[in-house]
Structure 1
Amino acid sequence: MQDGTLISPGHFPETTPIVDQPVSAPRGDVFAANCPTRQLLDRIGDKWSVLILTLLGEETMRFNELKRRVDGVSQKMLSQTLRTLERDGLAFRTARPTVPVTVSYSITPLGRELLGAMQLLIDWAETRMADVSAAQRDYDRRLDMALT
């Protein structure tokens, strides 16, 4: 653990190290709750991790800059997400001995590799949003007709 990094006494089960968990589900059984792959996908698939990793892929950032850039994230969620990303080896926390201490976050090589894979999904979402919006309007229209 990096000097100055604290694990809060109430850290969440989803941040439990994957290597310490018994692997009773066969590899690739992502539908099983105890599958390590599923656990990692759950963590990197949350709504804040993708946004934070995308920003860290652009540049190293301080906490408050991340908070300003990620619209809607609370200080608590940003802190928890950064801690989890750091713990999973996807983000790196650097503390500089200034008064007050200067803390910044950057993406790790592992995080950059993940970001490359996520970029395909981001690109798909950006190109297909019009199609998704049209499908939502059609669905809502059918639902309205069925209720009337």
Structure 2
Amino acid sequence: MKDCLKEISVVDHEECPVLQALEIIGGKWRLPIIWVISAEKSIRYNELKRKIPGITNIMLTRSLQALEEYGLVKRIEYNKIPPHVEYSLTEACYELLPALVIINQWGKKMLPTFNKANEDKKISVSK
């Protein structure tokens, strides 16, 4: 991380693996998709959509395509009747899961601080 931020004013995404990683997993829907698939091992599209409240078909499709392009999610088509598709995580994505568990634990620990900060913002705005 120190190498990435030697000069804060000139952070090059290509030379900073942390920024590259955040570029790949960032966005509103990619982490929830990874989290749900990791719990299920393999999941069909509509089941995945039901487990992520608020996601639209377009955003789910685009996010899955991006995750597949980056090699984090694999899409398996079954030529049965009726045909269906299942999504699962790749080995590269499984390597990422311990970091996500740590971020999840940190988020839970920081939740009271986040909630208080949001309350303070609401009070300031309403004055």
Quick one: which amino acid aligns to residue 118 of structure 1? Answer: L
Q: Which residue of 1 aligns with 2:36?
A: 55
Q: Which residue of 2 aligns with 1:103?
A: 85
Spell out the pairing of 1:58-137 with structure 2 (5 A cutoff). Answer: 58-59=39-40, 60-137=42-119
What do the CA deviations read for 1:115-141 (whole angstroms, capped 9, x no partner)?
A: 221121112112321221112212333
2:49–2:55 Cα contact (<8 Å) kept? yes
Gaps of 5+ in 1: 1-26
2:71–2:90 Cα contact (<8 Å) kept? yes
Poorly superposed stretches of 4+, deviation over 6 Å: none
2:24–2:70 Cα contact (<8 Å) kept? no
2:26 alignment partner, one of 45, 61, 70: 45
Deviates further, 69-78 or 41-50: 41-50
What do the CA deviations read for 1:52-94 (whole angstroms, capped 9, x no partner)?
A: 0001111110000011111111111111111111111111111
| 2:12 aligned with 1:32 | yes
Q: TM-score, normalised by structure 2?
A: 0.80
Q: CA separation of 1:108/1:43 partners in 2, compared to 1, >3 Å: closer, same or farther? A: same
SS in 1 for 2:29: helix
Whole-Å separation in 1 of the counterparts to 2:16 and 2:47: 32
SS in 2 for 1:99: coil
Q: CA separation of 1:66/1:32 partners in 2, compared to 1, >3 Å: closer, same or farther? A: same
SS in 2 for 1:135: helix
Backbone CA RMSD of aligned residues: 2.2
Identical aligned pairs, as a percentage? Answer: 30
Whole-Å separation in 2 of the counterparts to 1:87 and 1:139: 39
